[in-house]
Structure 1
Amino acid sequence: MVCDRLSVKRYYVDGRFGQIHYRLARPQRSTKLPLICLHMSPYCSVIYENLIRELSSDRICIAMDTPGFGGSDAPDFSPTIGDYALALKDFIDSLDFAEVDLLGYHTGGKIALEVAINFPDLVRKVILVSAAIWPAAQREKLRALYSRSNISHDGSHIVNWWKSAINWSMRGRSLESINKVFWSRTLNPEISWWGHHAAINYSTKIALQKVLHPVLVLNPEDDLWEHTALAKALLTNPKSSVHDLPGWSHGFLDVKTEEVASIVRSFLH
């Protein structure tokens, strides 16, 4: 049987909050640790589809929908990053993986850090897409912004979301590529703020100082570019680093898939 790297399959497993939906790309024979990818809020695992396909020549690659996003069932309360981390731990255990590498984008990165800190033997290396360190005043503004649903009667919230997606997309990203992932942020709009709310209430500064694993922070020039630069002084493992990506922004996983895969492989070797 020849490895089909073009195939990304979708599955469900049972979790503490209901079903967990995930995407899986795998080779015929895996020679590396599994890589678990965690998306930003309020999107879903579809953002990783091209990347996990590209990386799946020698390792199992999985992109999970955080509970309440994509196809995963939501908890019946607004969760913390700690709650999301426990759901991820359950997910990894359900797949019988003894050790994994983690890649997390924005909110997903905070979940990855929390799992690495609390279950250090389960994680080998961590890759973060951005690691924003917020000043207290800005954190309070963001906390107020992401404390409720912002659905509008005339549907203008969807137009605003679309304009934001266009504004923060990197050069070379097609409208088709943007639309491929945009739909996922329109799901469960009454709770789609939960991911941001959990992220804002989590201290990345403290987490980066506590995590013992090698951490690679990818810093694209997106809305968290300047705040992520502050993470450089907080990394404690000598094998940890921040990789600035000027000119890159949202959509880089699709526009620069091969380049990202090369960076990931180099760090995870």
Structure 2
Amino acid sequence: MSRLQHTFEELKKRGEAALIPFITAGDPSPQRTLELIRTLAAAGADIIELGVPFSDPMADGPTIQAASERALAAGTTLTTVLDMVAQARRELQIPLVLMGYYNPVFRYGVERFARDAVAAGVDGLLLVDLPPEETNEVKPATAAAGLPLITLLAPTTPPERTKRLAAAAEGYIYYVSMTGVTGTQAVAPAAIRDVVVELRTLSPVPVAVGFGISTVADVQAVAEFADAVVVGSALVRIIGEHGSDEALLDKVAAFTESLKQGCKKNNSN
């Protein structure tokens, strides 16, 4: 059983949704990212998504764009990110998922990347700008290496397409709760509940919901019907504001602990 599968199975037994914080790898520095990974794991994160910094992050709002700029300025590359994962994996078993854009993977070499990612301890890959019709550029290599290629679905995905993509999903599905870029709107749980509940019946893997989730109340509301809740921009904002402060890790820990309190389900969904 993979680390992702084990994590979701254990949380299901406890009646909890997974808390998946997102941070940009290398922001504010590679060493600080390692400290943040340790802090998130200790504070109750169940899975961590590490954003691979990219110079043209078109799906991201200003908060995560700025984080990418800081990480790139600190010299972070895809190789750096894989090194971070390998270092973290020496002491932690928390699932680590890379989230980013296809260009860095293409330039690295898809087959080489898939092998190196698994060797480093990466548990999944999410490429936000790779359409499902183009996954044949990546899927043979990730499948051969045993690296789940996570599917993105959104409210604009047509029903038949949703069924087809959900049936073939790996690792977990990342359901984007709204259109637009990250960190610019608040989630509306009631508007997506029925879609996510149905999606969970179509998918062989858990369903995570992200975009617009920034408070404990947001987490509580979404955790009632989703298998996992992703919090990105709100956390990245804390890192951006306190990256050079001694109090950064304490602030991240306190925020993460508060979010995890909202992950306990009150129903049987």
TM-score by length of 2: 0.38
The structure carrying a bigger helix percent of its residues is: 2
